[in-house]
Amino acid sequence: MRWSTTLVLIPLLGLAAAKPVLDTRYSTFQTKHSWVQIPKGWEYHSTPPSDTLISLRLGLKQAKFEELLSHLYQVSDPTHARYGQHLSKTEVDALVQPNEETVNAVSDWLSYHGIDESAISASREWVTITVPLHLAETLLDTKYHVYSHAGSDERVLRTLSYSLPAHLHGHIDVVAPTTYFSTLKSMRATSFLQPEIPALSLKIDVDTAPAASDAVPAASCNTTITPQCLRTLYNTIDYEVTQADKNTLGVAGYLDEFANFADLKTFAQRFRPDATNATFQLEQISNGGNDQTDPGVEANLDIQYTIGMAFPTPNIYYSTGGSPPFNPDSQTPTNTNEPYLDWLNFVLAQDTLPQTFTTSYGDDEQTVPTDYAISVCNLLAQLGTRGSSVMFSSGDFGVGGGDCQTNDGQNKTQFQPAFPASCPFVTTVGGTTRVNPEIVADFSGGGFSNLFARPDYQADAVSGYLNALGDQFQGLFNKSGRAYPDVAAQGEGFQVVIGGRVGSVGGTSASSPTFAGIIALLNDFRLSKGLSSLGFLNPLLYSNPDVFNDIVSGSNPGCGTDGFSAALNPGWDPVTGLGTPDFKKLQAVV
């Protein structure tokens, strides 16, 4: 069966009016995911009318995902003959397309419940159906309610558990929206204002501004960070971009954060005078906004420092939106309001992609349902296979914020890894501070995933640290999990123009765009040599640890502990990863 790629709503009256012949396959349910309690920060609000429309997104099993991973590691391994030979969109689509058995099984299930083909929209491995709530509850053997988030005005339509007929578990990886509660306003940006650090004036002081010829950053860079500080510290100051017509850097934005064009111009005039004509392309996804009267700290930080590092490389800012607070209305389908899926499905549908991406948002890993996290992580793998390098900030809560108690009903204290930082197919960036030498920024998120196994590319580096750690923190983290961060960059005192004024901003949200800017320059360098973009970075980075500045002072406290120490073992650590980059050394290996 082939589904239409255009969604056409069928008349809802009588959608499932004819009672299907009883088929026990569709009444033998098996739980897909459930919570033992309402996720922290949320509370029951109301029960919506049963005829409320909901758009369910079904992630179908990808027929050849293991083959896709094989391609990913081959084209990302600098010792492999296929290094750099990334796949096209058409080639990736062929690998992730569900097989006929899966399509037919899901089609038969929907047909059994009276859902006509015209109510189905299909794109690659994703199928969307728009149905009344009571039918969604029948399909998933569940009950939906409206929940409200105490820290915002966000209200969402979610369920505490959902099930699928047992025989469909091998065909459907995830259904959304179901048990993933984090949304545009409840997820976390990994940046924060630092009013304790006096911001620089917009007036240029030639006596304190470091000269382009300086071999080391100025002393002022110990407290206030500018593009000049970073370009000097990480050795990009003399590099000239030549491939601006071929190379692009993408910034993912959420949380109703808007990058401001006027603030970018002011920032460039003060901190990157050769970039005063800099701008960026805007892509609005799922009703993403662009309110130029409401500049966002996170959005401005990201775009000002990707451009500050990689100018004149073109930048794209993706403003990913979602639905407003949920209001039951039987005539309006609910938005899934899950930004990772919205953003990833949008960019993967494009024929060409930016060679570099940075994202500065995340959640505690334990708040993300396993099926949802794996589906998102697998989509991120597709980006790498197609030749894009994807950076995520490691988070700003050390080894864990809050009470660090598990949400499985046992309330055990454990370190709390972050997601998508813990996905093995991204490059996760921790934070440092000060210069000559750099030390750990103590908020730098780092640790070990409870969900994803340790990938081979980091096995040796991580084993060395674990051997030095011994039994310390025994039982507080998963020693066999994917370890992060992979690398680090400065993360305190960034000078950002917000609403026409300079403010000091910190967080690994600053580190990720900084590192992404350096990768964009490396991609520019490779393209200038007639080579491909770098794509998925980690196999290359872990096989060349000497190109990084090892950070050997500091730790990332949290969960009532001092956290992991960067001084414990030379090389990789779960605070700053392999260390901070040296662009010229990286140039030599790429």
Active site amino acids:
298, 302, 509
Separation between Cα atoms, residue 321 and residue 344, nearest integer Å: 13
Partners of 30 in beta bridges: 164
Quick one: which H or E segment has residue 341? helix 339-348
β-pairing verdict for 249-253 and 356-359 = parallel
Residue ranges of the annotated binding site are 550-551, 571, 573
**Burial status of residue 456 (CB atoms within 10 A of its CB: 0-12, 13-18, 19 or more):** exposed
b/e map 138-152, b = 16+ CB within 10 Å: ebbbbebebbbbeee
φ, ψ dihedrals at 185, nearest 5°? -95, -15
Q: Are 206 and 270 in contact (CB under 8 A)?
A: no
With contact defined as beta carbons under 8 Å apart, do 55 and 334 qualify?
A: yes
Calpha distance 76→70 (Å, rounded): 10
Q: State the CB neighbour count (10 A cutoff) for residue 501.
A: 12
State the amino acid at position 387 in one-letter form. G
Q: Give the residue ranges of the annotated binding site for Ca(2+).
A: 550-551, 571, 573
Contacts of 215 (CB under 8 A, 6+ apart): 232
CA 517 to chain centre: 17
Residues 6+ apart with CB under 8 A from 56: 128, 129, 130, 131, 136, 139, 175, 176, 177
Beta carbons within 10 angstroms of residue 355's beta carbon: 28
Residue 495 · residue 271 · CB < 8 Å: yes
- What span, in angstroms and rounded, lies between the C-alpha atoms of 181 and 185? 11
Distance CA 158, CA 203 (A): 50
b/e code 255-265 from CB counts within 10 Å (16+ = b)? bbbbbbbebbb
Distance CA 392, CA 172 (A): 27
